[in-house]
Structure 1
Amino acid sequence: MHEHHYALDTTWRTLLRDLEIVPANVLRRAGLPDDLFQQPSARLAPEHYYRLWDSLEAEAADPLLPIRLCESLRSESFSPLLFAALCSPNLLVAAQRIVHYKTLIGPIGLDVTPRADTVTFQLTWLDTPLLPPTSLVLLELLFGVSIARMGTRELIRPTAVTTTVLPSSATPYEDYLGTGIQRGTGHSITFTLADATRPFLTSNEQLWSVFEPELRHRLASLEASATTAQRVRATLLESLPSGLPPLRPLPGSWP
């Protein structure tokens, strides 16, 4: 079982620079450490990550922030999942790889459902009862379309997009997607099977075979870390009746 945390990689720094947003201002609004984006392998609990995301929205003051982020995203922006996706033969294989390694990025589940002529990707946030910001959900949905377009270099359009909360202004998002957004009980995006299996020009299986062992190592380390955290938590809970004082975090540490 994984601890529920979001990872911060170097993609944040490049995207903020491209959007001309000052990282220090975002971190100050969120009440987070000034050097957070410089910390190696930084991870945030969901409530802190959502506060960071809300601060980014406030600093950007742009209701179309998810679209701007996707437009700024480039293949050279290093993100483990983006790299894994673009090395894939097609969108379907990319999604299947993301299913396996998604927890390296955050507590978001992805279900891939192929049918006779369509493929549906269903997103599920695992950190209930917390609710992710609407713009973060929209970004995840748009991200799937961005991967398809970056990989094929074609204007791939999904056939259906569903989410639980519609954006205040849906038209720009529907224009970007090339299809309408429907309100539903979950978050999903559907492509034709032809588009989901359209070859990626960025496919590089040789490079993927070199990179995948590192992803497996990161995943194993994350699982081991989660197991250790669970053991520590269980020990602390067991010690509560003994009247032992609570442990204090080390100076400069972040939950």
Structure 2
Amino acid sequence: MQRSSDHPTVHVGKVWRLMLADLGLNAVAVLRRAGLPSGLLDGDGSRITLDEFYALWESFDAEAQSPTLALKLGQIEASEFFDPAFFAAMCAPNMTVAGQRLGEFKRLVGAFSLDVEVMSTATRFTYRCKYRPDLPTTLAATEIVFLVNLLRRATRWRVVPKAVFLPSTLQETSAFEDWFGSGISYGDAASFSLDPIDAMRPFLTQDNQMWQSFEPGLRRRMEDAREDLSTRARIENTLLELLPSGRTQIDDVASELAVSRRSLQRRLSEEGTTWLDVLNSARMRLAQHYLKNTTLSAAEVRFLLGFEDPNSFFRAFRRWTDATPEAWREAQRMRA
């Protein structure tokens, strides 16, 4: 079941078969509860929409009936999956580089991202969805447990995070806090912070030769995954990252995607769209995200989207939504 569209998709297959088997869960029952085909995980697996992926996680959680499911999943032996991204991380010299390698892979391949922020007092690792502000509770907790477990395995040291944040409350918070060795706070994203010493603690698993052998395959997987999206979707996804930094020109996107401006325009034309259409779509998505999920003023949103003229932004937003930014934001609050 292959899907190609302007909407992000997620691959599910071998890893899910192994996870379900390790936990003794019936794959058909999990898929049926999620409203997905019973053969979805067969063979090489399938690509599903982001909404379907979220439904799959909710079904997985419901069928498992375990408040500590994320602790079990995050510590499953990832080497059994033969995941090049995992081995690339384990071959890194430290957690900072490992997180950056995983982050690059996630940014280019999937619907999720891992950002590494190095500061003077801490290094923060943040996991989020690139297209939705929410994360399934178990998925968010699993990712954080997986990353901390990877760090502990690679250093052979029980590293304790300085802080752990999750987007929603866990049923057995105390069990997770015991495992992490630190308290858990709740906020907008899933993240954990390390003391700079722990972030740079040497990986005993570092292996440059193995990294060199895995890197070409990892790069190919990145490129293969990117081809699943249309040119329009790839450009729009790139714009979502570039717009807040003030890079709004087609040449900026062409450079990021390593193609010429002319090639980009030609491909858009072949798909029946234009650069201006894609730019407007990306701006609309970001504007709605900022207004719904942050306290930024309309003026600040306008600035982040690259509108130099305030009136241009208000006219564009009214064209997109039939409302002013303030009225649209208030309507979203009333629905919540």
**Do the two structures share a fold, i.e. TM-score over 0.5?**
yes
Would the alpha carbon gap of residues 141 and 196 (structure 1) be closer, same or farther in structure 2, given more than 3 Å must change? same
Q: Which of the pair has the greater relative contact order for Cα pairs under 8 Å at 6+ separation?
A: 1
User: 1:63 & 1:209 partners in 2: Cα distance?
Assistant: 40
1:84 correspondence with 2:88: yes
**TM-superposed deviation, 1:43:** 2.0
Aligned residue pair count: 234
Please give the secondary structure, in 2, of the residue aligned with 1:89. coil
Q: Which residue of 2 aligns with 1:249?
A: none
Which digits, 9 at most, give the CA deviation of each residue in 1:183-202, with x for residues without a partner? 22333210112211222222
Match of 2:117 among 106, 113, 130: 113
Give the equivalent residue in structure 1 for 2:58.
Answer: 54
Q: What is the CA-CA distance between 1:12 and the residue it aligns to?
A: 1.9
Partner residue, 2:246: none
Give yes or no for the alignment of 1:27 onto 2:31: yes
Change (3 A) 1:13 1:204: farther
- Partner Cα distance (2:113, 2:157) in 1: 27
Q: Is the 8 A contact 1:86 1:94 kept in 2?
A: yes
Q: CA deviation at 1:98?
A: 1.0
> Aligned equivalents of 1:197 and 1:9: distance in 2?
34
Post-superposition offset of 1:203: 2.0
Q: What percentage of aligned pairs have identical amino acids?
A: 35
Find out whether 1:180 has 2:175 as its counterpart. no
In the alignment, what sits opposite 1:250? Answer: none
Which of 69, 94, 99 does residue 95 from structure 1 map onto? 99
Tell me the residue number matched to 1:217: 220
Asked whether the 8 Å contact 1:89–1:203 carries over to 2, the reply is yes
| Alpha-carbon distance, 1:104 to partner | 5.8
Structure with more of its chain in helix, by fraction: 2
CA separation in 2, counterparts of 1:176 and 1:120?
19
| Distance (Å, rounded) in 2 between the aligned partners of 1:221 and 1:199 | 32
* Distance in 2 separating the partners of 1:104 and 1:61: 33
Question: Unaligned stretches of 5+ in structure 2?
Answer: 1-5, 234-267, 274-336
Specify whether residues 49 and 96 from structure 1 end up closer, same or farther in structure 2 by C-alpha distance, changes over 3 A only. Answer: same
Deviations 1:64-119 (A, max 9, x none): 11011123234333223322211212211100101110146631122211122421
In 1, the alpha carbon distance for the partners of 2:269 and 2:113 equals: 26
Alpha-carbon distance between aligned partners in 2 of 1:11 and 1:164, rounded to the nearest angstrom = 24
- With over 3 angstroms needed to count, the CA separation of the structure-2 counterparts of 1:150 and 1:68, relative to structure 1, is same
1:6 aligns with 10
Partner of 1:243: none
**What's the TM-score, normalizing by structure 1?**
0.82
Cα 1:20–1:94 change in 2 (3 A) is same
Find the counterpart in structure 2 of residue 204 from structure 1.
207
Match of 1:40 in 2: 44
Structure 2 counterpart of 1:171, one-letter code: S
Amino acid at match of 1:215: L
Structure 1 residues 146 and 104: alpha-carbon distance in aligned structure 2, compared to 1, 3 A threshold: farther
Tell me by how many angstroms 1:180 deviates. 0.4
Q: Secondary structure at the match of 1:189?
A: strand
Asked if 2 retains the 8 angstrom alpha-carbon contact of 1:104 and 1:218, the reply is no
- In the alignment, the residues of structure 2 paired with residue 10 and residue 103 of structure 1 have an alpha-carbon distance, to the nearest angstrom, of 21
Gaps of 5+ in 1: 237-255
Aligned pair in 2 of structure 1 residues 65, 200: CA closer, same or farther (>3 Å)? same
Cα distance in 1, alignment partners of residues 144 and 75 from structure 2:
14
Aligned CA RMSD, in angstroms, stands at 2.4
Q: Are residues 225 and 198 of structure 1, via their aligned partners in 2, closer, same or farther at CA, if it must alter by over 3 Å? A: same
Q: Residues of 1 paired with 2:137 and 2:111: CA distance? A: 16
Paired position in structure 1 for 2:152: 149
Q: Which moved more, 1:179-188 or 1:52-61?
A: 179-188
Contact 2:13–2:43 at 8 Å: present in 1 too?
no
Task: Measure the CA separation in 1 of the matches of 2:128 and 2:75.
Answer: 24
